[in-house]
Structure 1
């Protein structure tokens, strides 16, 4: 039996620590590398260690069996269970932190001040794609061509 509340609390608080480091620590190579491997990498590993046994039915996530991703009802059933909600949240944490790290590095490259980056990073943390959209719109202010502003490089 997995303690889903504990797993949720640990991964959520750990991700928040990584976000605080990303937003406020100096952007030195060692710090960014630490956020990448120690934040994104470790959270992705936690996700993998949970999703594989959950998907194969080795661990009961509380959804009543092996998740069915082929129907809306199956996804709803998974996400309404403690295991499904926890692994789904970790999924968000991993990808949002990855996007936040990418945005922070690119924003530094294009000379955007930290005071302008922090609200965008907060939007990425809380609302994912909306924060990314805000950053992409901001990038338009530093480019002459649309292609230069949106290529992920």
Structure 2
């Protein structure tokens, strides 16, 4: 499989999860797929395979480290590093989206108001989460530093 195909498959893998969160937030299917460990395990396995390939089979650039901007840039100089990094973003953004979905249901927020926040979390991760927190504040729902 070439790198473009791998990248496309990882991208496509999260689309059903996001569609379920946006269009069927209270469905048993959404609970079974998005609010389970399915996505973290599936995408975590892709991430792990990429990391193993980087360290054991040399599918990475030289100079990789997490202590300098140059070292982090080196991670993304190899297609495998891009896929690893992108998978990292996708799994955590979906995890945050799933939390937004569960929290909105718990707080009985109107889904039409929450859906743009979910789309924001999908497209620009932290901004979608921030939008959701602001939505909760605007609707006079309490915000806590703990769940």
The TM-score normalised by the length of structure 2 is 0.87
1: CA distance, partners of 2:88 / 2:110: 29
2: CA distance, partners of 1:66 / 1:60: 13
2: CA distance, partners of 1:77 / 1:66: 6
Counterpart position of 1:37: 37
1:133 is displaced (CA, Å) by 0.8
Counterpart position of 2:140: 142
Please say if residues 63 and 74 of structure 2, whose CA atoms lie closer than 8 Å, have aligned partners that are also in contact: no
For residues 10-48 of structure 1, give each alpha carbon's deviation from its aligned partner in whole angstroms, at most 9, with x where no partner exists. 110011121111211252345223113222321122112
Please say if residues 25 and 101 of structure 2, whose CA atoms lie closer than 8 Å, have aligned partners that are also in contact: no
1:128 is displaced (CA, Å) by 0.8
2: CA distance, partners of 1:69 / 1:26: 37
For residues 27-81 of structure 1, give each alpha carbon's deviation from its aligned partner in whole angstroms, at most 9, with x where no partner exists. 2345223113222321122112212331x242413x2x36222221111121132
1:122 is displaced (CA, Å) by 0.8
The TM-score normalised by the length of structure 1 is 0.84
Q: Paired residue for 1:98, among 84, 95, 98?
A: 95
Counterpart position of 1:47: 47
2: CA distance, partners of 1:135 / 1:152: 16
2: CA distance, partners of 1:11 / 1:86: 8
1: CA distance, partners of 2:92 / 2:99: 11
CA RMSD of superposed structures (Å): 1.9
Structure 1: 5+ residue stretches without partners = none
Structure 2: 5+ residue stretches without partners = none
Q: Which moved more, 1:38-47 or 1:125-134?
A: 38-47
2:113 maps to 1:119: no
